[in-house]
Chains A and B, each alone.
Chain A
Amino acid sequence: MLPMPAVRMRGISKRYLPSGIHANDGAELVVERGSIHAVVGENGAGKTTLMKILAGLELPDSGDIEIDGKPVRISSPAHARRLGIGMVHQHFLMFDELSAAENIFFGLEPKSRSHILRMLGIIDSASLNEQTKVLAQAYGFAVEPSAPVGSLSISSRQQVEILRQLAAKVRILILDEPTSVLTKQETETLFGKLAELRRMGRTILLVTHKIDEVMQIADRVTVMRGGKTIGTYDTASISANELACLIMGATSYEEGGPHTKTSTTGALVLSVQDLCSRHRHHGGTGLSGLAFDIHEGEVLGICALSSNGLDELEDVLAGFLTPSAGTFVFRGHRFDARGSHEYRRLLKEGKIAYLPSDRVRRAVALSLPVVDNFIALDRRIYFPRGWIRSTLAQRATQEAIRAFDISARAEQATVELSGGNIQKLALARLFSKKRAELFILCEPTWGLDIRSTEQVYNRIQNISDAGSAVLLLSSDVDEILRLSYRIMVLYRGKPVADLINSGYLNRTLIGEYLLGIRST
């Protein structure tokens, strides 16, 4: 007799209203107990929706679920927890001001041993911290129980999230894009832990779009496309290239080579000198002593882990935050970075074009139709005498939708678009700016699938080839290595590396700079 699978999902369909788009359309999933099982697919393939259904966060419109061979209808996250299913979300669900121990044992805190205090519902903090230590040691995690999680690094917070699931005796652990925020070194550590959990008999579901990670850690992989399951394969019997083709539904797939441009013959566009900011974003470090030059036709990549100054730099360069010191020289015009209205005028006039990392909050107005978002920033073209030229607006938007392969209609409300399509819309608007001499691109491919990412990379190379300067702010090391001519690394708000991207640079080396292990 075959062993009972841990999870069996059959014919799962889920339609989101009011757009009526099928997130899942008869999806299937079978997961063997004690295995690491990857679920892969492009943006909007339905993998996260399928996982949310398994975790009780969404109810399917139809379909059957069996856990350990028993048919169940998972009605709530609490129900999923009772069945031993837990999910670690891409955006952590943490209580920043509570301690690691309080986060991990949330709802399961030990009561005080004293009879009277117990009656009053008082928690025994000492034994809460002790339990946390014991749990962390049992799985080889290093977590300080009493530290508020808001003060922890991203990878420690992720460990707290995983421990929280383990504290709830979860047997089936779902991880949604767990490595998107980690360095190579941190990813290796995480995979070590996952392999250890598999050895202890836990079942792990890994949602990702990184094929190399699937090949490295997963036993089996399920490919999804358009809400349907394409198939499930043993990673031992499929190649990375075959897997990529299955994901994209293409017959062949060629990853673009590294950017090999090696000269900076163009004129100086922007010089930033001695930029400092005391302002700290949540858990951030501010900026100190940052300086760089950027020339025509050059891509300068600035890389940092979260909370190491990249957010502050973005806000200073976007004009949201006034730095405490610094000088900007744009095309020979020198001005104090603190009196930033001259700099803001460059943004307003479109000489500097900015793509925000938080596309939902800063790039679009969600309630407006796509066409309004597309034309909003180009007053002179679309509102020459104060009112709108709607035919032109419609035509330009249609063209952008075609050119950037955005799955949306011009008059559709932007809120109905997936994150990937919103990003494409923001990029289409950005690249339509003819007057831009400098492009500031923040996390341009965050959350995009392989195909869209490739399209974006090609477009960035095109604008760079056409002579624009490109400043790339990204926490994705592969992206930085792929696109940049020069690479700068920030650690705790300070530049620790300023390197020409020649052959010797790789993920591991950049990772060491990012973690502050190495500096020049």
Chain B
Amino acid sequence: MSDITTVLVDILKYTIVAATPLLFASIGGLFSELSGMLNIALEGLMGIGAFFGMAAAGLSHNVFIGVLAAIASAVAASLLMGVVILRFKANLFIAGLAINLLAGGITTVLSQWWYHTKAVVAFSLPDPLNAFPAALAQIPFIGPVLLSHSVLTVSAWLWTLGAALIINNTRHGIRIRATGMHAQAVLALGYSPDRARMAALVWSGIGSGLGGFALGLSISAFVPNIVSGRGWIALVAIYLGRKKPLWIAASCLLFAFAESLSNYIQGFSSIPPLIVLALPYAVTLVSLIVAGNKK
């Protein structure tokens, strides 16, 4: 293989890896968006999922336990948010902001308490399970780019397809969408919009918990601010993808490609690294402007 092909394979392979947390979180956030609640807490929920997931995985030396803990902690936080918003009628944005601030605080405090550091907590974990037989990775180009990924990365795509099915083809999905379109009508027909919204928040929690855990797992560590804006980018992906799961997946790939590219370009000393690191965020901004203009 030539040099350029190697570089391209690297960039594309890492694009798929970097898309994993974005996919989990944005598809999760899509549920709550469709139910009529803009979920600005994705960032915080991802942080909570990352911390508790990694802590449980590290303690048990078992990735699956980590997955369960990540989901449980992020779902608990989104249920808390749901109760505050739906039962106590708190403002959606204030409650979301509170979760984001809480996430930063609680992970730092617990990190200090449990691991006596506010910086990097590294975990030694078993190697991630490959979803495909090793032989498939030998196929030129397609093998390394598409067919040598972990079970978690493949799950993100199954999660996306599953969500599309739930949203479009089940009573549950129709109920959630209808609540976002006309909550009053749902109520008048004898169903509870609040229940649909609570369920949508649970989906959000599952998605962002998994997304955060995928981030932690990719570096086998927890770092404060590990999410660093990916929750917000996931939120942008929902809008860029016009609230359609497959288009959201495409948007996530675009952002992940920018992240992958910026990681690669960092290797060249001639470009200031700060500018390079800003690339994913710049792509996010530009894509929003382009999408906004189309309307």
Which residues does A use to contact B, with CB under 8 Å? 55, 57, 76-81, 87, 89, 93-98, 102, 106-107, 109, 120-123, 125, 164
Q: Is the CB of A122 within 8 A of B181?
A: no
26 A-B pairs in the complex with CB atoms less than 8 angstroms apart: A55-B188, A76-B190, A77-B189, A79-B190, A80-B190, A81-B189, A93-B185, A94-B185, A95-B177, A95-B178, A95-B185, A96-B181, A98-B174, A98-B177, A98-B178, A106-B174, A107-B171, A107-B190, A109-B174, A120-B165, A121-B170, A122-B165, A122-B170, A123-B169, A123-B170, A123-B171
Choose one: A81, A87, A95, A120; the contact of B170 (CB below 8 Å): A120
Judge if B184 is at the interface, Cβ distance under 8 Å. yes
Minimum C-beta distance from A216 to chain B (A):
29
Residues of B within 8 A of A76 (CB): 190
User: Beyond the given A79-B190, A122-B169, could you list 7 further A-B residue pairs with CB under 8 A, ordered by the A residue number?
Assistant: A87-B188, A93-B185, A96-B182, A98-B178, A107-B175, A121-B171, A123-B170
Q: Is the CB of A107 within 8 A of B177?
A: no
Q: Is the CB of B185 within 8 A of A97?
A: no
- Chain A minimum-CB-distance residue to B192: A78
**Given A93-B182, A98-B177, A98-B181, residue A78 in contact with residue B191 (CB < 8 A):** yes
Judge if B195 is at the interface, Cβ distance under 8 Å. no
Q: Is the CB of B174 within 8 A of A102?
A: yes
Residues of A within 8 A of B182 (CB): 93-96
Q: Mark B33-54, 1 if CB is under 8 A from A, else 0.
A: 0000000000000000000000
Q: State the CA gap A97–B174 with chains docked (Å).
A: 11
Residues of B within 8 A of A96 (CB): 181-182
Q: Is the CB of B169 within 8 A of A77?
A: no
Minimum C-beta distance from A481 to chain B (A):
35
Minimum C-beta distance from B277 to chain A (A):
39
Minimum C-beta distance from A134 to chain B (A):
20
Question: Which of B172, B177, B178, B187 has the most chain A CB within a 10 Å cutoff?
Answer: B178
Q: State the CA gap A106–B171 with chains docked (Å).
A: 8
Residues of A within 8 A of B174 (CB): 98, 102, 106, 109, 123
Q: State the CA gap A102–B170 with chains docked (Å).
A: 11
Q: Is the CB of A93 within 8 A of B181?
A: no
Residues of B within 8 A of A81 (CB): 189-190
Q: State the CA gap A97–B168 with chains docked (Å).
A: 12
Minimum C-beta distance from B182 to chain A (A):
6
- Chain A minimum-CB-distance residue to B178: A95
**Given A109-B174, A121-B172, A125-B169, residue A95 in contact with residue B188 (CB < 8 A):** no
Minimum C-beta distance from A97 to chain B (A):
6
Q: Mark B251-295, 1 if CB is under 8 A from A, else 0.
A: 000000000000000000000000000000000000000000000
- Chain B minimum-CB-distance residue to A52: B188
Q: Is the CB of A109 within 8 A of B171?
A: yes
Q: State the CA gap A55–B175 with chains docked (Å).
A: 21
Q: Mark B153-172, 1 if CB is under 8 A from A, else 0.
A: 00000000000011001111
Minimum C-beta distance from A338 to chain B (A):
21
Choose one: B171, B172, B181, B191; the contact of A97 (CB below 8 Å): B181
Question: Which of A80, A87, A94, A121 has the most chain B CB within a 10 Å cutoff?
Answer: A121
Minimum C-beta distance from A90 to chain B (A):
12
- Chain B minimum-CB-distance residue to A57: B188
Minimum C-beta distance from A401 to chain B (A):
32
Q: State the CA gap A89–B177 with chains docked (Å).
A: 21
Q: Is the CB of A95 within 8 A of B181?
A: yes
- Chain B minimum-CB-distance residue to A82: B190
Q: State the CA gap A79–B191 with chains docked (Å).
A: 11
- Chain B minimum-CB-distance residue to A76: B190
Residues of B within 8 A of A79 (CB): 190
Q: State the CA gap A106–B190 with chains docked (Å).
A: 10
Residues of A within 8 A of B178 (CB): 95, 98, 106
Residues of B within 8 A of A57 (CB): 188
Minimum C-beta distance from A351 to chain B (A):
35
Q: State the CA gap A79–B182 with chains docked (Å).
A: 20
Residues of B within 8 A of A89 (CB): 188
Question: Which of B169, B182, B188 has the most chain A CB within a 10 Å cutoff?
Answer: B188
- Chain A minimum-CB-distance residue to B190: A78
Minimum C-beta distance from B188 to chain A (A):
5
Q: Is the CB of B169 within 8 A of A106?
A: no
Minimum C-beta distance from B245 to chain A (A):
15
Q: State the CA gap A477–B247 with chains docked (Å).
A: 46
Residues of A within 8 A of B166 (CB): 121
Residues of A within 8 A of B188 (CB): 55, 57, 77, 87, 89, 93
Minimum C-beta distance from A121 to chain B (A):
4
- Chain A minimum-CB-distance residue to B184: A93
Q: Mark B173-212, 1 if CB is under 8 A from A, else 0.
A: 0110110011011011111000000000000000000000
Residues of A within 8 A of B190 (CB): 76-81, 107
